[in-house]
Structure 1
């Protein structure tokens, strides 16, 4: 499979979460997404003189569903359920919710209270920040580990023969 075939196949299968995708299809599409975000951010920097990230965010929103679908099919090609790909995303959502509450608490009580181990500086100030910071670190580690596991699974060979997700894709 060529780079162009992978990109065309990724967009054709943007709404297809059934079936299987071989390693080249996934990794070529991954390269397209990575390079595309880099080029868009570079263009934004050259056009605006600063990088706000707005164009990259729009690019990522536009490419999200096709990238999710090809990753979903890739996991199924290795014999794993595609929804496993959502685990790191769920960790990101939980981390964002926790870090948002941690940020609000820090803003209310100041950094000094946090450095003192979360001792309240005033009523409603820093209570519970130590636990929130610990939780945030734990979620960050969980996110890193989940991401590494997903990369490991994506790099595994195709499961030979038919599996629960369909027949083995043809080699072109």
Structure 2
């Protein structure tokens, strides 16, 4: 495995796909962030092309006419859907290995994934409890839910900031329980 200084962007992206189901070992920051950026660019470019084609093809249409792009539209959406599904495991894998690189368990990766579902359940339960116990559910419910949504938003933002900080944290400089620091390995060769 190469370190951040010798690994090219293309090598980092190839490593992302090649190690797509490997949840063992460590991943450098570059191994994590290069695929994130390239995949985001692929999604953005595909979406922009889709909407530009849709806008340009519908400018000269008569009322009730379908633009020709409407027949290609499912292909664009299909590509985005398949691409999103194809990168699901590699995204999770590289995030787990990134956590390993900073000395954390890969289970930390699940926190930002599971957290929104937990809060939706909490909001749902509080909403039901508020409607059952309050004689005027509209006023009490609105206030309680507004405060709850504000707290949920703050906690969510805090979790994502914390997770982002973990993802940009430098590697542990020594061997940890998930493997040798690739910087050390490349210096020994």
Same fold (TM over 0.5): yes
Task: Report how far residue 44 of structure 1 moved.
Answer: 2.3
| TM-score, normalised via structure 1 length | 0.74
Whole-angstrom distance in 2 between the partners of 1:30 and 1:97: 29
Equivalent position to 1:80, from 88, 93, 104 = 104
1:68 aligned partner:
92
8 Å contact 1:95–1:136 — kept in the other structure?
Answer: no
Shift of 1:68: 1.4
Q: Cα distance 1:74–1:68, how it changes in 2: closer, same or farther (>3 A)?
A: same
Residue 43 of structure 2, aligned match among 32, 37, 46: 37
Query: Which stretch of structure 1 is more off in the superposition, 58-67 or 150-159?
Result: 58-67
Is residue 20 of structure 1 aligned with residue 44 of structure 2? no
1:71, 1:171 → 2: CA distance? Answer: 22
Where does structure 1 lack aligned partners over 5 or more consecutive residues? 106-117
Residue of structure 2 aligned with 1:139, choices 135, 140, 152: 152
Aligned 8 A contact 1:119 1:127 in 2: yes
Matches within 5 A, 1:1-172: 1-49=7-55, 54=77, 56-97=80-121, 101=124, 119-120=136-137, 128-169=141-182, 170-171=185-186
* Aligned-residue CA RMSD (Å): 3.4
Describe the superposition over 1:15-73 as per-residue Cα deviations: whole angstroms up to 9, x where unpaired.
11110011111111111122122112113213444999945454333222111111110
Deviates more, 1:149-158 or 1:43-52: 43-52
CA distance in 1, matches of 2:16, 2:149: 34
Deviation by residue 1:73-112 (Cα, 9 ceiling, x = unmatched): 011101011111111111222345567x59x99xxxxxxx
C-alpha contact (below 8 Å) 1:98/1:132 kept by paired residues: no
Q: Distance in 1 between matches of 2:30 and 2:116?
A: 27
| Mapped partners of 1:37, 1:10: distance in 2 | 17
Runs of at least 5 residues in structure 2 that lack an aligned partner in the other structure: 1-6, 56-69, 129-134
